[in-house]
Structure 1
């Protein structure tokens, strides 16, 4: 099964992706845990271009193409081979992030979807969106060490818009996308994530 975890920056989705992969492994499943942008060596190189630096570094179209290049490399080199071996794949973000973030930044949702169909052609079997108050998530995201704060620099209004975008995706794809309450301890949220598994 191919599972993606999504959410605004600082929502805890990376922690939940790790905890879900650990839970599945404890059940005896073989799990590939990955992230995006990133996952494969080529995609990790592209990641640095996308998540570091000035928020206005790329136009929406350039940003969209970079995300798709990274995603395609990870899909070819790691995700498809893992699924072919019968492994579970848990990814920290997938195309839904692009649908929400790049559309919010002035991109065109129809273009995002067209590129997804043409270049990637693979949706997760299940997408779990960790839904949380944008102000609390932004404070958490900005407090993290490191330089990967390009989107946090866009501020609270941007994060609120992204949250609204994820809620819309849950309405657009009700068979695949589930909103998970992100309030509470990491273990409390992890229990809600596990409860959403088929």
Structure 2
């Protein structure tokens, strides 16, 4: 996990927990453990320095380790997350892929293979093609590095070409999407695409 990816997922998790609980402050250690985040030792401090006063309304820093630091999301931080997702259910699906068992709506095999009941019928083929076109179009608006964008574009173009084939190889398309999704700063593009694969037949 790269820093930009950690920061993005941390903010999404913070927003979701704030919206679905009575808590105003969430501990860094709690979010990291619950959502299987894997930051390096200095990343909690770094994200606090980067976003306190912007995406974070407040950061409560204590002396006994970064894991005990508590974060409160700001209105700006919530707006950033809400701009990337349709609603809390979509956020729940995204986070559920990071934390199996968070929601029954997410197939637990979603990140290790294609959900067993998924069928790429003609309707879904058309939707997938549209979503991939949108992902490529939105790529330049992300804050990811140029190399990550170039690699993501290559994966998207390849997935689009396969999706448009008469008999698309779903497993290869899924693998390409997974590879692109794992690039730093890119994950927000693939929320709707991953949700499409997680739907039942």
TM bin, normalised by shorter chain, reads under 0.3
Q: TM (normalized to structure 1)?
A: 0.26
Q: TM (normalized to structure 2)?
A: 0.26
Higher strand proportion (structure 1 or 2): 1
Whose Rg is larger?
A: 2
